[in-house]
Amino acid sequence: MGKNLKGKDCGKGICQRKDGLYYARFVDKAGKRHDKYFQTLPEARNWLEEAKYADKHEDVFAATETTVDEWFNFWIENIVGDLAPNTLRNYRERYVHNIQPVMGSMMIANVKPMHCKKVFIQMDADYAGSTIRQTYITMGTMFKAAKMNDLISKHPMDGIRFTKPVRATDDIKFLTRDEQRVFLETARHSHNYNQYALILETGLRTGEMIGLTWDAIDFEKRTLTVNKTLEFRHSQQYWRAGPPKTQNSYRTIPLTDRAYEILKEMWDSRGKRKESPMLNQTLEYMDRRTGISSQLVMRDLVFINWRTGEPAKNSSYDTHLYKLCDEAGIPRFCMHALRHTYATRAIESGMQPKVLQKLLGHASIKTTMDRYVHVTTDSLDQAVKQFQLNGVF
């Protein structure tokens, strides 16, 4: 039984060194020795107790030299590396800015609920609830994978919750009917008018619209198929093709008359547009449904910037939208608000939420209801009028 510097017993397997650190050692059932240094005696005792418990219950004992940093790098590259680029970017940003400063250098087996809670406490004053939620998902998913792969015996976030509310549904921007009318009238002279109008008719995500190619349009059946996306990676300065956001995002959308007219007009005038040499590229991406490599032929893109002959970057659409909003005298909004607006108009017109879920490519009906369906002033007025018409008095 080891002793501390004052001669008091520390417990079996633990002793204190001359530099003040506590040294704990343990030999598992396979005869392999594990040891570690700690700043305090309680830390050493907790580690030793958990190690013996795991060994007794035939759990795989985690290698003590594995740090959270090392696990995150392995996890992001080898376990979740096939997720959408934006999802991976969010994971990396939340880890580097919020998780790593608290626990990056720690051994993953030593991470406790208090360390996880500290991450959220430090974020509370300066971050929105939605960003804290992203951190919660990142940390939870990362540690869940560590537990599934026997690096840890317990999930350190068990019982941990974040309390800061995410952005209210009322704060999510969509256009009223009047704003939509004024916006379209103002945008009609714009070279991007067809892109904005098509999203308002189909609910496409921006990346889905940018990556739309002619082979996805069936003029005979009057449908549009979403099977890929395209986005410009500013950090590396290149275009990246990819699969839709999730498995459920693969979908075929029946075209409205207006959507059909927009695409037919684009098809008939495609020979007159300016085309950059960069359109000679063919980009490869992985099809989520089959696991087989697919191709996006840049020259087959439906929408090309009229001035450069290249695809228009996601950010350039938002910049142009702000100018149109100022010109129209309406509050500024981003591209995703057009998708919001499509969903809102669809519900106002009586579309069933389950149908809208399929058209938007959502995996969960809850997402459709919570984020894209709003009760507008117009719909409230209409409901009251309908109530009066059907009244008994």
The domain ranges of the chain are: 2-56, 68-166, 171-380
Mean pLDDT of the chain: 86
Among 175-179, 314-318, 362-366, top mean pLDDT goes to: 175-179
Looking at the chain, the number of H-run helices and the number of E-run strands are 15, 12
Residues near 184 by beta carbon (within 8 Å), at least 6 away in sequence: 193, 196, 197, 200
The pLDDT value given to residue 382: 67
Q: Provide CB contacts within 8 A for 377, sequence distance 6+.
A: 176
For the 2-56 domain, the top CATH level (class) is: alpha beta
User: Does the structure show a pLDDT above 60 at 177?
Assistant: yes
Beta-carbon contacts of 64 under 8 Å, excluding residues fewer than 6 positions away, are: 34, 35, 36, 107, 109
Q: What is the pTM of this model?
A: 0.65
Nearest-CA neighbor of 285 among 26, 80, 27, 82? 82
- The answer, yes or no, to whether residue 64 has pLDDT greater than 80, is no
* More confident site: 269 or 83: 269
Report the distance separating Cα 232 and Cα 239, nearest Å.
Answer: 4
**Where does 68-166 sit in CATH, by number?**
1.10.150.130
Taking the C-alpha atoms of residue 128 and residue 19, their distance in angstroms, rounded to an integer, is: 43
Distance CA(312)–CA(307), nearest Å, equals: 10
pLDDT value, residue 393: 46
Give which of 329, 337, 217 is closest to 270, Cα–Cα: 217
> Is pLDDT above 70 for 392?
no
Tokens linked to 276: 């950059």
Which sign, positive or negative, has the C-alpha torsion 199, 204, 206, 207?
Answer: negative
Provide CATH code, domain 171-380: 1.10.443.10
In the structure encoding, which two tokens stand for residue 212, read together?
Answer: 């739309």
Mean pLDDT computed over 297-319: 92
Between the CA of residue 195 and those of 134, 217, 332, what are the distances in Å?
30, 15, 17
Q: Do the first three CATH levels of 68-166 and 171-380 match, i.e. the same topology? A: no
| Residue 7 DSSP SS3 | coil
- Long-range CB contacts (within 8 A, 24+) of 7-10: 10/41, 10/44
Classify 62 in phi/psi space as left (phi over 0), alpha (psi -120 to 50) or beta.
beta
36-40, 136-140, 310-314, 350-354: segment of lowest average pLDDT: 36-40
Per-residue confidence at 60, pLDDT binned at 50, 70, 90? Answer: very low
Phi-psi region of 20 (alpha: psi -120 to 50; beta: other; left: phi over 0): left
CA distance 163 to 169: 17
72-108 per-position pLDDT tens digit: 999 998 888 777 777 888 999 999 999 999 999 999 9
Query: How high is the pLDDT of residue 379?
Result: 63
pLDDT band of 377, cuts 50, 70, 90: low
- For 109-150, what is each residue's pLDDT tens digit? 899 999 999 999 999 888 888 889 899 999 999 999 998 887
